[in-house]
Amino acid sequence: MEETNNSIIPFTLFTSVRSYSHKLNTEAFSLLTTSKTNIFVDQVEEKSFILGCTNDRIPCETVEQFAPIAHLCFSNFIMALNIAALGHFTWNLEIFPNILYRFIDPNNNEDKIIALKIPRVREIDIRDITTNDVRRIFLLYEALCKEDNPNVGREYLKGILHLSFDFFDICFYKESFGNFYRSFEDFSLRIRGGKKLTNELKDLQKVMKGLGFGADIANEFEQLYILRGDQIMHAQKKQLEVEIDAVLKMKTVLDAVLHKFYQPVWERGMKDLEASGGTDADAKES
């Protein structure tokens, strides 16, 4: 009888990640520069790095089977970057193929390509990313991978992509704001144990107060809530462009809530690491 070969061919998929909020460095990412886990970091530069995912622990026989799993891992990692580091990270759209217009020059019958310039994102270097940031990122990434609902961060990721992409004179700030707001509302309902909102503004402010946020954040959210009613969910008032400042404020409020929501995850993880005396990559495997 012919012997069946059950060995899995090793695959590694890569993507590039761009930071708009932190200066990156190789030392901070040293915990994730090996392939001891299914996800790892390589080629760290000041504003970007390569993120890789292997099928060492994922039984996939073809790249086609593995690609959607790797994409979910990348998505969870990018979401963890934003929440745990309280910053702005996304897929590096600058290296992806641009959306193009084709132009035929009638004088010499030659094709010319007009490239779409992307993205238009405000870049603010808040601080250098640290080793502790990366520890929290990895622990949160693991928690997101274990979520029962794989769509738990879908609106959040839509917001990140809408914020990072323009099509010539068309920007998606209004859509990004709506994505971040819906994600905020979804997680607020989770914090409330699924209890529906009766007075949206007051109930959502109570969620924030319960997480320890002060009146300044609650007041900031009230202005965002008014903008949501006037420009995002309804069109009875004159429709205006939503400015990037408002989108970033909505993202900041959402990130602060998610940071508090998931904080127990990495606090438990940090204690486990201290007790075991190991590093994140050694003690945890995806």
pLDDT tens digits for 20-42? Answer: 999 999 999 998 986 567 899 99
Residue 251's pLDDT is what? Answer: 93
The SS3 assignment for 70 reads helix
Burial of 225 from C-beta contacts in 10 A (0-12 / 13-18 / 19+): middle
* Predicted confidence (pLDDT) at residue 283 exceeds the cutoff of 50: no
Q: What is the mean pLDDT of residues 41-53?
A: 94
Mean pLDDT of the chain: 81
* Predicted confidence (pLDDT) at residue 286 exceeds the cutoff of 50: no
* Predicted confidence (pLDDT) at residue 278 exceeds the cutoff of 60: no
Residue 49's pLDDT is what? Answer: 96
Instruction: List the chain domain ranges.
Output: 12-283
Kindly report the number of other CB atoms within 10 A of residue 73's CB atom: 24
Percent of the chain with pLDDT over 70: 79
The CA dihedral of 200, 204, 205, 206, to the nearest 10 degrees, is 110
CA distances, 209 to each of 172, 237, 256, 285 (Å) = 30, 31, 12, 35
pLDDT 10s digits, 71-104: 999 999 999 999 999 999 999 877 665 556 666 6
Residue 194's pLDDT is what? Answer: 81
For 18, phi and psi rounded to 5 degrees? -115, 135
pTM for this model (two decimals): 0.82
| Cα 79 from Cα 48, distance rounded (Å) | 15
| Cα 112 from Cα 105, distance rounded (Å) | 7
| Cα 94 from Cα 114, distance rounded (Å) | 16
Angle CA(189)–CA(193)–CA(199) in degrees, nearest 5? 45
The SS3 assignment for 145 reads helix
Residue 131's pLDDT is what? Answer: 93
Confidence class for position 16, pLDDT limits 50, 70, 90: very high
Residue 32's pLDDT is what? Answer: 92
Contact 13, 67 (CB under 8 A): yes
For 62-164, where are the alpha helices, taking DSSP H only? Answer: 63-84, 131-145, 154-164
Residue 57's pLDDT is what? Answer: 72
Confidence class for position 281, pLDDT limits 50, 70, 90: very low
Residue 205's pLDDT is what? Answer: 87
Confidence class for position 114, pLDDT limits 50, 70, 90: low
Answer with the residue of higher pLDDT: 93 or 261.
261
Residue 134's pLDDT is what? Answer: 94
| Cα 136 from Cα 153, distance rounded (Å) | 17
Across the strands, what pairs with 167?
Answer: 170
Q: What is the mean pLDDT of residues 138-151?
A: 85
Confidence class for position 147, pLDDT limits 50, 70, 90: confident
* Predicted confidence (pLDDT) at residue 6 exceeds the cutoff of 80: no
pLDDT 10s digits, 210-260: 888 888 888 888 888 888 877 676 556 666 778 888 999 999 899 988 998
